[in-house]
Amino acid sequence: MLIRTRLKAILLTTIILSIIMFGVLITSNIIISNIALQGQSTSRLTLNVADLIVLNYEYSTTPNKRALQQWDITHKHILDNIGALEQTKDIQPLLKKMHKRTTNIQQIFNRIKTIPHDSKLSKNLLNHLIIESQSLQNEASKINMLNLNLLSHYNRTVFITLISLTIIYLFVISFVTIHLNRRIAIPFQELQYGANKIGEGNLSHTINIRTNDEFESLSNTLNHMSKKLSTSTVNISDLQKEVTRQTRQLSIALKEAQTANQQKNKFLANISHELRTPMTAIIGFSQLISTSPELNEESKDNISEINKASEHLMGLINDLLNISRIESGKFVVDISQCELANILQDCITATKHFADENHIHIENKCEFEHIPIQTDKLRLKQVIINILTNAIKYNHKGGTVKIECKHTIDKQTMLMISDRGIGMTPEELENIFTPFYRADKLSTRVEGLGVGLSISKVIMEKLNGDLIASSIVNEGTTFTIIINS
């Protein structure tokens, strides 16, 4: 707080000095302007008096009406200019004399106009009028000289005042600079130097600042911190050794985990391939046997159950194989040009039998024109069939699965598949794309490993698209497949 108080005091002093200098400049400018205006009025008065003297001579030689009119106008100007002069202490006596003399001039000229021009009295009055006018001119010149002296005096006074204030201002600035250097700059440099030394590891370095302010407090804090660090150096060394040992153990554990994961993926791939061959044979033979006319109804039902169980097991094997490929980085896509309408229709046809068994109606509201897209046809079918199958599984009996499409301006096609089933909570929706995740309320009702949606999500990302979900409990779920056209 001491540093802030000092800076405030310095700033306040500088502002006050600046305001005083500005006030002096403004005041002197106003005074000098007034003196200059008064000097202009005095100059006009002197010129008018000179014109009056000329008119007096002119009227004394050849009196005429124009000279009389011009004399009255000039006399009025003289009175106006005398009234415009400020009655300061120096020129007040002269102004009184000029008022009196102007009145006498007016009276004399009025008498001259009433007597004959050639008379002796008229000539004497004209001579007296000229003398009075010349006296008036002398007094106007004195006032002009007084104004010039006053202007010179004020200029000199203002100059001396400004020089004095400038010297005081420079003195204050010098004092402020020295004070800031002694109280702020030097302690700051010492503090910075000490902090750098401590930062370089020289914990025995001590910062010596005695300014009784925040800098001294901060230096004491840094000294205390360096002592604390110095006493804890041994502990830090031991801790570093322990961290190194733990890091080495973690590195070994990570390598073992990576090796185990690779072995797991290899095992899943091998076992999946080994299981696919007999399962394909079982499915083929069960389908072949089901066409035999010698089977009774009970045998046909048994063969049908074998076929369903085999296909379900084949689906699980395929899911495991896909998960293994994804984790090992061997999951690839084959991009080619195809028609989105044909892909969607094939998927609806593939799931129609399953939907009929569950009394679910698939409502396709997509109105496609021929839209060629660059994608992996088989992988996109896999995603759409998986979403349609889930919509049928988690729907109510006799429900509806709605398919809608929307094209965006950035050449994307959004395929929205909605059901009116049990829906999901926000917590379930947040984990829906996590491998092997299944909501508790569905785990006993619906068969599967819980990897279909996570595989579909990865497939759409591989195809430069996306798969997003939204859901409301007891109202249904909507999955949106975003396809880049």
pLDDT class for 438, splitting at 50, 70, 90? low
Could you state, in order of their start, the residue ranges of all structural domains in the chain?
A: 2-182, 240-310, 333-484
Asked whether the beta carbons of 206 and 222 are under 8 A apart, the reply is no
CA torsion angle 126 129 131 132 (round to 10)? 170
pLDDT digits (tens, 9 = 90+) for 299-355: 767 777 776 666 666 666 666 666 666 666 666 778 888 888 888 888 999 899 889
Is the pLDDT assigned to residue 246 strictly greater than 90?
no
Please tell me if the domain spanning 2-182 has the same topology as the one spanning 333-484.
no
Give the model's pLDDT for residue 418.
94
What percentage of the chain has pLDDT greater than the value 90? 7
Long-range CB contacts (< 8 A, 24+ apart) of 457-466?
457/433, 458/326, 458/331, 459/333, 459/376, 459/379, 459/380, 459/382, 459/383, 460/383, 462/331, 462/333, 462/376, 462/379, 463/333, 463/335, 463/375, 463/376, 463/379, 463/380, 465/375
Give the model's pLDDT for residue 360.
92
Report domain 2-182's class.
mainly alpha
Of 72-81, 84-93, 277-286, 454-463, give the lowest mean pLDDT range. Answer: 84-93
Report domain 333-484's class.
alpha beta
Over residues 261-290, mean pLDDT? 66
Over residues 114-126, mean pLDDT? 74
pLDDT class for 419, splitting at 50, 70, 90? very high
Q: Which residue did the predictor score with more confidence, 27 or 389?
A: 389
Mean pLDDT score of the chain: 75
Give the model's pLDDT for residue 3.
58
pLDDT digits (tens, 9 = 90+) for 127-138: 787 787 777 778
Q: Give 158's contacts (C-beta < 8 A, 6+ positions apart).
A: 24, 28, 32
Of residues 153, 21, 37, 31, the one with CA closest to residue 85:
37
What percentage of the chain has pLDDT greater than the value 70? 69
Is the pLDDT assigned to residue 410 strictly greater than 70?
yes
Give the model's pLDDT for residue 266.
64
pTM check: above 0.75:
no
Over residues 182-207, mean pLDDT? 71
Highest mean pLDDT among 33-42, 64-73, 247-256, 349-358: 349-358
